[in-house]
Structure 1
């Protein structure tokens, strides 16, 4: 049962993601990310598309009909594309009533607050992926990561994951890892090597 309103943390997570996306240069788009199947461009496409999906859910639409990847974004247009869906998602979830209403998301039908909490986890995780890919150009906010880690441990309590789970088997967190590092490890990610 979700007792914490996820909206303020989601808003902070979107601010953090927007600031990081604004640092991406076109020459970085083909670079690797900790999410092995995504380069930076594909990761950005997924962040924009996934944000649009939860915006449509918040608006009362069928989020499952929204492809969780954005198409047709110019190399220098990712920041604007994200800002557009970010404004839309925050408006879509402004009503307190949305938190209790049942919504359909990829993992089932759940109250809106639980769905949005899942998207806090998703966004914070992919923001860490992007920060790693870009060489950690900005400091990440620990509070959304602590919330996301609690969500991750609740929805994925077992460290072993099967092929139907969109996250890999948990890894040990590096010693002294911050909340983002512990979240990434719980979701099966490893930091990229940095010089």
Structure 2
């Protein structure tokens, strides 16, 4: 299928800046008293997911620069740094800048030995989906419309490509059925194994 020449092509760094702008207010509003609450990402409570997401954001800056990342241990940013919410905002800005640098999307990256744009899409997916996870877990609204629509569009294609491998590795659960009138973001969440209408039990 030929690409519509009138359709804009967005850089990963540009999309990360948009996703970051949606994620930062959610993280800043996470109450200390809700850190042990469950999230739609069943492997993590709020604190664990915040630590995971911040570590992903830090390490994927290295991958943008074609350096090796280290995911063997996730530091306890939340438990050891009183300013972790502001650090999240700062690191999210650095992530967008790293993936906006010349050459960041070219070739393969780091020990993953995968196309750089796919690697960038992986952190983009984590940023938008885990921000939604955290918002749902703490009763916040998360919207992926307006200027976030190109993010969802980019990720729809990336998730379709990554899904079989991600499910085999246990990263994605089986897709969740959605209504015919589901939004593109609801379909994206469902493709990762999340119920777009998740509520805490």
In which range does the TM-score fall when normalised by the shorter chain?
0.7 to 0.9
Give matches, 1:111-150, under 5 Å.
111-141=115-145, 142-143=148-149, 144-150=151-157
Structure 1 spans left out of the alignment, 5+ residues? none
Residues 108 and 115 in structure 2, CA contact (< 8 A), matched pair in contact too: yes
Cα contact 1:49–1:69 (8 A) shared by 2: yes
Q: Which of residues 143, 146, 154 is equivalent to 2:161? A: 154
2:5 is matched with which residue?
Answer: none
Alignment of 1:18-33 (within 5 A): 18-33=24-39
- Aligned alpha-carbon RMSD (Å): 2.5
CA 1:184–1:46: 2 relative to 1, 3 Å: same
Equivalent position to 1:171, from 162, 170, 176: 176
Which sits farther off after the overlay, 66-75 or 179-188?
66-75
Q: 1:31 to 1:194 in 2, by over 3 A?
A: closer
Deviates more, 1:183-192 or 1:139-148: 139-148
Match of 1:9 among 15, 18, 42: 15
**Count of aligned pairs:** 188
Q: What TM-score do the two structures reach when normalised by structure 1?
A: 0.83
Q: Quote how far apart the aligned CAs of 1:46 are.
A: 0.9
Larger helix proportion of the pair? 2
- Over 3 Å counting, the alpha-carbon distance change for 1:8 and 1:68 in structure 2 is farther
Cα drift, residue 26 of structure 1: 0.4
Corresponding residue SS for 1:93: helix
> Structure 1 residues 49 and 12, CA, compared in 2 at 3 Å: closer, same or farther?
same
Matched, 1:70 2:72: no
When the two structures are superposed, what TM-score results if normalisation uses the length of structure 2?
A: 0.81
CA distance in 2, matches of 1:15, 1:174: 28
Structure 1 residue 165 displacement after superposition: 3.2
> Which gives a bigger RCO, structure 1 or 2 (Cα 8 Å, sep 6+)?
2
- Gaps spanning 5+ residues in structure 2: where? 1-8
